[in-house]
Amino acid sequence: MQQFTLPRTGLPPVQFKGEIMASATDPLPPFPKAKADRRRWHELKLVRHEDQRLILAIGYRTGVQSEVNIDIVELFDSETAMIDFLTNEYDPTEHMDRLPEHLRNAASRQQRMDQRVIDDFEARCSLLLTRAGIVEEI
């Protein structure tokens, strides 16, 4: 078992023993219109705790000057609970600054920015689950 220390924004880091199952932290191709200082993405790491629970580390990363990187750590008793969290509870756009409403086409521009972050997050979730060997039987 490997010793892990994972950061959490606004909280002390968590430390535990476990085995890395998968990560999706590698760069994905940038969106065509996303400038380097406007990039937003997530880094995901999945670890199996020594007691067999799953630990998911989510890092929100941003190149936007007014935003900050955020680190979250969640603990799950099952793969199903983790997938439910990823698909129904976690909002990948939660930490993004919103465009001021007075800007021209602000709503449609915000929607496009949100969708880029959502698409990137979903791609990384799929990559993480595939690398971890987590599949849904049908």
Q: What is the pLDDT of residue 7?
A: 97
CA separation for the pair 89, 104 (Å, rounded): 31
pTM of the model: 0.88
The pLDDT of residue 106 is 80
Q: Tell me the per-residue pLDDT of 99-120, one tens digit each, with 9 for 90 and over.
A: 778 878 888 888 988 998 999 9
pLDDT tens track for 74-88: 999 999 999 999 999
Distances (CA, A) of 21 to 37, 116, 117: 31, 27, 24
Our CA dihedral for 29, 33, 34, 35, rounded to 10 degrees, sits at: 110
